[in-house]
Amino acid sequence: MKTRITELLGCQYPIIQGGMAWIAEHNLAAAVSNAGGIGLIAGGSAPIDYLREQIRLCKEKTDKPFGVNIMLMSPNAEDLAQLCIDEKVVVVTTGAGNPGKFIPAWKEAGIKVIPVIPSVALAKRMERAGADAVVAEGTESGGHIGENTTMCLVPQVVDALEIPVIAAGGIADGRGIAASFMLGAEGVQIGTRFLASEECQIHPTFKELVVKAKDTDSVVTGRYTGHPCRNIKTKFSKMLANGEKDGSLTPEQFEEVTLGSLRKAVQDGNLEEGSFLCGAIAGMINDVKPCEAIVKELMEQAERLLKA
Ligand code: TUI
């Protein structure tokens, strides 16, 4: 399937793996790239030496293009942005902020720049700033989210821009890909489906939560802090949601108890204190498979539907 996204990135399929903080490391990124998509390594708020090592390990595992996600709320985003230039990364995606100030240097270095955006206004600013494409991310996504849904956001961003649009949020099978293309997207970003992949290095408890999740097992916490995040329902995320609702947890206390909670979920599978960030589509995911099988299944189903 050829689109402006496969042309831009030099990949076989228009599937980009989500740049999930604490989760997306070189084993996952290389597996997705080797399967014909674009794997991403998440910068998150990792130390620069960690990200450099991950990029180099990924280069050893794949000769296919892969990218890096820069989380713009990270205190060392500037250093990580420069590292992408030094390591000649093919494509950078960004999240949780406006990457405008980094775009000229990335473009100068020949890096393809794809900001993740939750609104038409920000999408237009990114196009004007020189972005090559955008990911229009609906509120169905896991992690830090905007308000609009994939179904409403994607066609409005497509109408507002000339550059290609990648749909994200709630896409985990070929039907979601075909629907995204009907909305005018030329690629998809998929995170949650790859959580339940063999190459994903998260704690087994995290994978089990994804596979066992039902349609109603997703909850958004932290709206009152200005950084809403979608999680799998656990005792901890329900406590946060209730504390926010009934006022028993102040925004300051919320920030305090969630500090370090991503690591506790991903590395320790800690159900008492971990934030298991995950998309609302988890209910549809019932098995753990290699990335190659996931990508093959996604593309076969999407192509069959789009031909029909
Ligand atoms: O960034 C994400 N998803 C993430 S980042 C993350 S790590 C984190 N941990 C704690 C608090 C916050 C983040 C976990 N998941 N997705 C892309 C995304 N970007 N969603 C929303 C946005 C966004 C929001 C505001 C992008 C730009 C923006 O601009 C505001 C501005 O400065 O104009």
Name the helix (H) or strand (E) containing 159.
Answer: helix 150-160
Class of the domain covering 4-200: alpha beta
Q: Dihedrals φ, ψ of 57, to 5°? A: -65, -35
| Substitution site in 71, 144, 266 for ligand 1 pocket (most atoms within 8 Å of beta carbon) | 144
- What digits encode the pLDDT tens for the residues 281-298? 999 999 999 999 999 999
Of how many residues is the chain composed?
308
The domain limits of the chain are 4-200, 214-277
As a whole number, mean pLDDT of residues 208-229 equals 98
Residue ranges lining ligand 1, Cβ < 6 Å: 21, 71, 73, 95-98, 116-118, 122, 137, 143-146, 227, 277
Residue 252: predicted pLDDT: 96
**pLDDT interval class at 178 (50, 70, 90):** very high
As a whole number, mean pLDDT of residues 241-270 equals 97
- What digits encode the pLDDT tens for the residues 112-164? 999 999 999 999 999 999 999 999 999 999 999 999 999 999 999 999 999 99
pLDDT score of 1 more than 90? no
Q: Is the pTM of this model over 0.95?
A: yes
- What digits encode the pLDDT tens for the residues 53-66? 999 999 999 999 99
